[in-house]
């Protein structure tokens, strides 16, 4: 009987709905089946899901994260090979997952009114944004691709503005935590903007960049990102009771206006507007 190699495949479902519900998973396939399913997908590193594997009830494109080959005794034959290791754009996409996990945690903490938990998790989110968006994207990726991607400067400008917006909102929200105040509308807007930004990068901006990046570009960016990871000093949580945070000096007026306008449509602000609108 022919010895058919089996593969344990970590994957991410590409269907929009599954971005929330069942995005990641592990599936076992024999190599022949995997090759056949891969042939049905034009996208590199993707394969069609076996029937019934996706919650949507029909075959979907699955993106390979890693593959491990398993021998006939069920033991790992080769060490797991991470397919994203040499692709800086896919590494950036993977980092988005950490940001989205923090966003979900923050939403849960807002619901339970966990001030101390929010103080820590929003600092962790701030840290992820600074190393990912400001250091790796704005100082690494964007200068590298501006002259190579159609409408590059305009697209980069949009991404930079997004970064400023949710960083400003996040900082303003943390300022309010020092006063034992949870501004639901501010953090809600921050997370909504963050998720929309990640969707734009994952589904529109990054695929466009990948069409124009050379292997030399990828190597240069990988080297820079590794250097950033090595040299980055994480932001400390700090003591909420010391009330040391103030709005960024250059954005003070803008931050105050943003927080005030968003608070109007939050649960507290909306009630005030309703009662005082006669």
Residue 248 falls in which region: left (phi positive, over 0), alpha (psi -120 to 50) or beta: beta
Residue 33 has pLDDT above 80, yes or no: yes
The pLDDT confidence band at residue 255, using thresholds 50, 70 and 90, is very low
**260 contacts: CB under 8 Å, gap ≥ 6:** none
**7 contacts: CB under 8 Å, gap ≥ 6:** 28, 29, 30, 31, 34, 67, 68, 69, 70
Selected residue with higher pLDDT from 32 and 197: 197
Residue 253 has pLDDT above 90, yes or no: no
Tokens of 11: 């994957």
Residue 111, Cβ density class (10 Å: 0-12 exposed, 13-18 middle, ≥19 buried): exposed
The pLDDT confidence band at residue 248, using thresholds 50, 70 and 90, is low
Side-chain-side CA neighbours of 167 within 13 Å: the count stands at 17
Which of 147-151, 238-242, 260-264 is least confident? 260-264
Q: Give the integer Cα–Cα distance in Å for 240 and 116.
A: 8
Selected residue with higher pLDDT from 275 and 25: 25
Q: Give the integer Cα–Cα distance in Å for 159 and 250.
A: 20
Domain ranges of the chain: 6-82, 88-276
Q: In this structure, how many other beta carbons lie within 10 angstroms of the beta carbon of residue 276?
A: 7
The pLDDT confidence band at residue 234, using thresholds 50, 70 and 90, is confident
**In the 8-state DSSP scheme, what is residue 74?**
S
Range with the largest mean pLDDT of 47-51, 201-205, 273-277: 201-205
**261 contacts: CB under 8 Å, gap ≥ 6:** none
Residue 54 falls in which region: left (phi positive, over 0), alpha (psi -120 to 50) or beta: beta
pTM: 0.62
Selected residue with higher pLDDT from 72 and 117: 117
Q: Give the integer Cα–Cα distance in Å for 22 and 268.
A: 34
Which of 62-71, 104-113, 162-171 is least confident? 62-71
- pLDDT tens-digit series, residues 54-108: 655 567 788 887 787 776 555 555 444 455 567 888 889 888 988 998 999 999 9
What confidence score (pLDDT) does residue 54 get? 63
What confidence score (pLDDT) does residue 2 get? 44
Q: Give the integer Cα–Cα distance in Å for 39 and 138.
A: 36
What is the pLDDT of the chain when averaged over all its residues?
77
Task: For residue 174, list its beta bridge partners.
Answer: none
CA dihedral of residues 29, 53, 50, 4 (deg, nearest 10) = 10
> What percent of the chain shows pLDDT beyond 70?
75
**In the 8-state DSSP scheme, what is residue 23?**
-
**Runs of H (alpha helix) within 4-151:** 31-39, 88-112, 115-129, 142-145
Residue 129 has pLDDT above 60, yes or no: yes
Tell the CATH topology of 88-276.
Answer: 1.20.120
């Amino acid at each position: 009987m022919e010895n058919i190699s089996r593969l344990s495949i970590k994957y991410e479902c590409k269907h929009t709905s599954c971005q929330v519900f069942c995005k990641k998973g592990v599936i076992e396939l024999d190599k022949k089946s995997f090759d056949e399913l891969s042939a049905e997908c034009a996208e590199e590193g993707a394969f069609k899901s076996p029937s019934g594997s996706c919650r949507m009830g029909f075959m979907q494109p699955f993106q390979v994260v890693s593959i491990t080959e398993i021998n006939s005794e069920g033991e790992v034959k080769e060490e797991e090979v991470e397919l994203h290791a040499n692709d800086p754009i896919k590494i950036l996409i993977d980092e988005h997952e950490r940001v989205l996990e923090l966003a979900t945690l923050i939403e849960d903490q807002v619901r339970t009114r966990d001030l101390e938990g929010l103080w820590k998790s929003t600092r962790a989110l701030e840290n992820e944004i600074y190393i990912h968006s400001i250091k790796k994207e704005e100082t690494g990726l964007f200068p590298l691709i501006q002259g190579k991607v159609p409408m590059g400067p305009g697209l980069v400008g949009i991404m930079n503005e997004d970064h400023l917006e949710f960083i400003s909102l996040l900082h303003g929200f943390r300022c309010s935590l020092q006063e034992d105040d949870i501004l639901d509308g501010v953090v809600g807007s921050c997370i909504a903007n963050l998720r929309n930004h990640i969707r734009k990068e994952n589904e529109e901006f990054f695929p466009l960049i990948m069409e124009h990046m050379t292997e030399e570009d990828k190597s240069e960016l990988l080297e820079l990102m590794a250097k950033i990871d090595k040299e980055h000093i994480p932001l400390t949580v700090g003591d909420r009771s010391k009330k040391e945070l103030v709005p960024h000096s250059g954005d003070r007026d803008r931050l105050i206006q943003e927080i005030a306008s968003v608070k109007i449509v939050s649960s507290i602000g909306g009630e005030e507007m309703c009662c005082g609108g006669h």
